[in-house]
Amino acid sequence: MKVGVLALQGAFTRHCDVLTALGAVPLEVRTPVDLEAVDAMVIPGGESTTMSMLLDSSGLRTPLAGRMADGLPVLGTCAGMILLAVRVTDGRPDQRSFAAIDIDVRRNGYGRQVDSFEDEFPVAGLDGPFHGVFIRAPVVERVGPTVEVLARVDTIPVLCREGSVLVSSFHPEMSGDGRIHERFLDLAFSV
């Protein structure tokens, strides 16, 4: 299982560590050639506007969009959720998303860095609660009819799936719990 991890900016190293622990082979993706070698993709947290600009300057945006249109399984966490959403509120006017999952998100919807928090919540299909780390996290404001909400904090969706796309507003790679990544690998290699 070769799982690409977008390594332009953000928390990509921890995703690689979790994937390795689960028996997958993570590949840091920085160029279109790197992308050709992967069977699934992780778009990590980081700064979504910076990541958006780096997707353009690296030449990765168009080939990644093409691979996703062809069914490439993708896990997007925090900024990755923003980059995969259909609509982004409070983004820069030039920020572009892939529109790979039918959700609308608000950047930094929970607040600034000082408003970051941790919470435990149930996740559909997992035994026991998951400990989520929310850092300047996006808030899901709308969920399309074909999107499955897998977890909520209070009433707000924090983990969603549509087809082969799985997104979280939290950082599962920082929890010490590999179950979200494991679920993604199951999804990626059963599609």
Active-site residue, from 78, 162, 181, 182? 78
Tokens (6 digits) for 62: 């168009």
Cβ-count burial 63-101 (b if 16+ within 10 Å, e if not) = bbbebbeeebbbbbbbbbbbbbbbebeebeeebebbebb
**In terms of DSSP bridges, do strands 117-121 and 101-106 run parallel, antiparallel, or are they unpaired?**
unpaired
Determine which helix (DSSP H) or strand (DSSP E) holds 138, and give its type and residue range.
none
Active-site residue, from 15, 173, 181, 182? 173
Distances (CA, A) of 118 to 98, 105, 131, 174: 28, 19, 7, 10
| Annotated catalytic residue 16 | no
Question: Judging by beta carbons within 10 Å of its beta carbon (0-12, 13-18, 19+), is residue 155 exposed, middle or buried?
Answer: exposed
| Annotated catalytic residue 182 | no
| Annotated catalytic residue 78 | yes
Active-site residue, from 15, 16, 160, 171? 171
Just list the catalytic residues.
78, 171, 173
